[in-house]
Structure 1
Amino acid sequence: MRGLIWNCRGVGKKGMATCLSDLISDHSLDFLGLQETMKKDFSSKCLRRIDPFNLFKWIWVPSEGKSGGIMCGLRQDTLEVVT
């Protein structure tokens, strides 16, 4: 199992979606955890740019103001989300 946890300081920055997508595919990641996303919500378009083949289940905690926010992606064929 391979994963990445990163304090990215803003998912909305130019080129970040491509960077994340490349990291997922280049390293065959099973999970991805992002801190300091600085976003309240993620559109399906944004998630498609990060995960074009819809391999991951995405869960997030919205940011408060201009800081915070956590996002986690789990590869659906490898890991299971239990709530």
Structure 2
Amino acid sequence: MKGIFWNCRGAGKKGMSTCLTDMICANEVGFIGLQETMKGSYKQKIDPYQKFHWEWVPSRGKSGGILCGLNKYKFDVLGSK
């Protein structure tokens, strides 16, 4: 099982979502954890084929924010908030 954990401050910069999408596809990851996301809208950019189930915890002020994704073909999601 492969996964990615990334402190991605600056993920909204040009080219970063493409870089992350390429990394996900090339490594066939099962789960993703992105820290310091500040917003949850990255999931549309990094998961264009909607292979992942996404959950997001918003930031408090200028720090925090976690976006987590589970590959729907490798995990069964039994519940979420």
Query: How high is the TM-score relative to the length of structure 2?
Result: 0.85
User: Does residue 1:4 correspond to 2:4, yes or no?
Assistant: yes
**Which of 58, 63, 70 does residue 66 from structure 2 map onto?**
70
Aligned residues: 79
Residue segments in structure 2 that go unaligned for 5+ positions in a row: none
Determine which of 42, 45, 48 is the counterpart of 1:52.
48
Q: C-alpha separation between the residues in 2 aligned to 1:65 and 1:15? A: 25
Give the structure with the higher percent strand.
2
1:20 CA displacement: 1.2
Cα shift at 1:60: 0.7
Opposite residue 3 of structure 1, the aligned amino acid is G
User: Equivalent pairs: percent with the same residue?
Assistant: 56
Match of 2:59, SS state, is coil
TM-aligned CA deviation for residue 48 of structure 1 = 2.7
* Deviation by residue 1:24-65 (Cα, 9 ceiling, x = unmatched): 0011111110111122x42xxx42320111100111101112
SS of 1:14's equivalent in the other structure is coil
Q: Partner of 2:33 in structure 1?
A: 33
Q: Aligned to 1:60, what secondary structure does the other structure show? A: strand
Give the unaligned 5+ runs of structure 1. Answer: none
